[in-house]
Amino acid sequence: MIFTDKTILDSINKGKIVVHPFIHANLGTNSIDLTLAPHMKTYVNAEDYIQESYYLGRRHFEISDNVYKSVHATDGYFIDSKANNETRKFEIPEEGFILQPGQLYIASTNEYTETWNAVPKLEGRSSLGRLGLFIHVTAGYGDVGFCGQWTLELVATVPLRIYPNMKICQISYHGISEKPNIDYSKKESAKYSGQMGATESKMHENF
């Protein structure tokens, strides 16, 4: 069962769902629009293919054409799933930042959320999907008891300019049949519990 606006509001009033800040105008029929935090990260392992440039007087990082060619591990470009990969953090200027096609950008929502009576799910917005933007890479489901800001894995199919604090995605809530034995906030293996800001992969902790 997917929560409607009435159930979402009732859950917020009862403290079963927390969205902070909550903007009532961002409440849809069965979801809440969330906004883009003003900082993102990229993996430094891609630095050989990153060239610094300036856009409207602000520094940002632009992926060169080389990264779109056939890239092999011997070229020095790869991310090791067993390693704690270094990232570079940068600010999205008010004038906007152009996402380069095929490059992964780690971003996050401004909103902090908690969900205690449902499974939260994050999806893109239709208007941005029509501009070729993916807001996550197979990582849209949350857990009962997840508390934190949502990390986004942004990938654009065309060069796309985005802006800080813009509506970037929507969160919906799927009802559960019963309370879990252990919610996410109490799991010892919960690597992302309480995360704030763009949070890179902690896959290496599984090894």
Q: How far apart are CA 83 and CA 157, in angstroms?
A: 27
Check whether 72 has a pLDDT greater than 60: no
pLDDT tens string 115-166: 999 999 999 999 999 999 999 998 788 999 999 999 999 999 999 999 999 9
- Report how far apart, in Å, the C-alpha atoms of 78 and of each of 6, 52, 72, 192 are: 46, 20, 8, 23
Tokens of 74: 């011997």
Predicted local confidence at residue 73, as pLDDT: 45
- This prediction's pTM: 0.85
pLDDT tens string 24-62: 999 999 999 999 999 999 998 765 444 443 343 344 444
Overall residue count recorded for the chain in this entry: 207
Active site residues: 153
Pick the CATH number of 5-65+86-199 from 3.30.390.50, 2.40.30.10, 3.60.20.10, 2.70.40.10: 2.70.40.10
